[in-house]
Amino acid sequence: MTLNRRTQKAMRLGSLLGLLLMLLSPRVGAMLSDSLQHAVRLETNPLETIYILKLAAQHSHKNTELAIFYTEMALNKARKSDATEDLFMIYRERGFIYEENNLLNQALAEFENALNIANKLDNDEHRLSVYTDLAVTNRKLSNYKATTDYHTMTLFLAEQIDDKEMVEDSYHGLGRDYEIVGDYDKAIEYYFKSLAIAEERNSLSGVIITLQNISNTFIKTHNREQALGNIERAYQLASSTNDSLTIANVLFDYGKILNQIGEYEKALDNHLASLDVSQNVQRKTAIVRSMIEISTVYINMEEYDKAQEYFQLCLDRYRDYLSTKDNAKLYNQQGHLFLKFEDPEQAVEAFTKSLEISVNNDYKALSQDNHHALYNLFRAQSDTDRALTHLEESNRFQNYIENNEKAQRIAEIQFQYEMEKSERRIQELHYSRNQIFFFRLSLFLAVIADFLFYTNSIRVKTNKQLKRKNEEFEKQNRRLEESNQALRQFAYVAAHDLKEPLRNIGSFISLLQKKYGSQFNEEANGYMNFVTNGAKRMNKLLVDLLEFSTLTTQQASSELINLRSVIDEVVHNLQDVIVQKNAIINYPTRMPSVRMKRIHLIQLFQNLVSNSLKFVEGQPEINIQYFPEPDHILLMVEDNGIGINKDYEDKVFLLFQQLDKNKGYEGTGIGLAICKSIVEKYNGQIWFESGHVKGTRFFARLPILEESPVPPVKDSPAKPELAEAYP
Residues 609 and 636 in one domain: yes
Residues 76 and 48 in one domain: yes
Residue 562 β-bridge partners: 593
In this prediction, residue 579 carries a pLDDT of 92
Report the number of secondary-structure helices (H) and strands (E) in the chain: 28, 8
Q: Is 690 helix (H, G, I), strand (E, B) or coil?
A: strand
Residues 631 and 511 in one domain: no
In this prediction, residue 601 carries a pLDDT of 87
Residues 519 and 450 in one domain: yes
**C-alpha–C-alpha distance, residues 288 and 272, integer Å:** 12
Q: Which domain does 637 fall in, by range?
A: 558-726
In this prediction, residue 1 carries a pLDDT of 38
**Contact predicate 251/292, CB 8 Å:** no
The residue from 495, 522, 552 where one domain ends is: 552
**C-alpha–C-alpha distance, residues 390 and 341, integer Å:** 22
Q: Is residue 287 part of a domain?
A: no
Question: How many domains does one find in the chain?
Answer: 3
Q: Is residue 182 part of a domain?
A: no
Q: Is residue 134 part of a domain?
A: yes
AA letter at 154: T
In this prediction, residue 447 carries a pLDDT of 62
The residue from 141, 158, 183 where one domain ends is: 141
In this prediction, residue 236 carries a pLDDT of 92
Residues 84 and 106 in one domain: yes
In this prediction, residue 416 carries a pLDDT of 60
**C-alpha–C-alpha distance, residues 646 and 655, integer Å:** 18
Radius of gyration from C-alpha coordinates of the chain: 31
In this prediction, residue 434 carries a pLDDT of 53
**C-alpha–C-alpha distance, residues 196 and 328, integer Å:** 40
Residues 596 and 714 in one domain: yes
In this prediction, residue 374 carries a pLDDT of 92
pLDDT digits (tens, 9 = 90+) for 13-50: 443 333 333 343 333 333 333 444 444 444 444 457 78
- CATH code for the domain in which residue 625 is found: 3.30.565.10
**Contact predicate 138/108, CB 8 Å:** yes
Q: Is residue 116 part of a domain?
A: yes
Q: Is residue 657 part of a domain?
A: yes
Q: Is residue 433 part of a domain?
A: yes
**What are the φ and ψ backbone dihedral angles of 508, each rounded to 5 degrees?**
-60, -50
Q: Is residue 445 part of a domain?
A: yes
In this prediction, residue 323 carries a pLDDT of 75
**Contact predicate 235/243, CB 8 Å:** no
In this prediction, residue 312 carries a pLDDT of 85
Residues 718 and 574 in one domain: yes
Residues 545 and 569 in one domain: no
The residue from 92, 112, 141 where one domain ends is: 141
Which ranges of the chain have pLDDT less than 50? 1-3, 6-7, 9-46, 426, 429-430, 433, 662, 706-708, 713-727
Residues 544 and 563 in one domain: no
Residues 475 and 582 in one domain: no
In this prediction, residue 497 carries a pLDDT of 62
Residues 575 and 672 in one domain: yes
Residues 576 and 606 in one domain: yes
- CATH code for the domain in which residue 66 is found: 1.25.40.10
pLDDT digits (tens, 9 = 90+) for 547-606: 555 555 566 666 788 999 999 999 988 898 899 999 999 999 898 888 888 888 888 898
In this prediction, residue 315 carries a pLDDT of 80
Q: Is residue 610 part of a domain?
A: yes
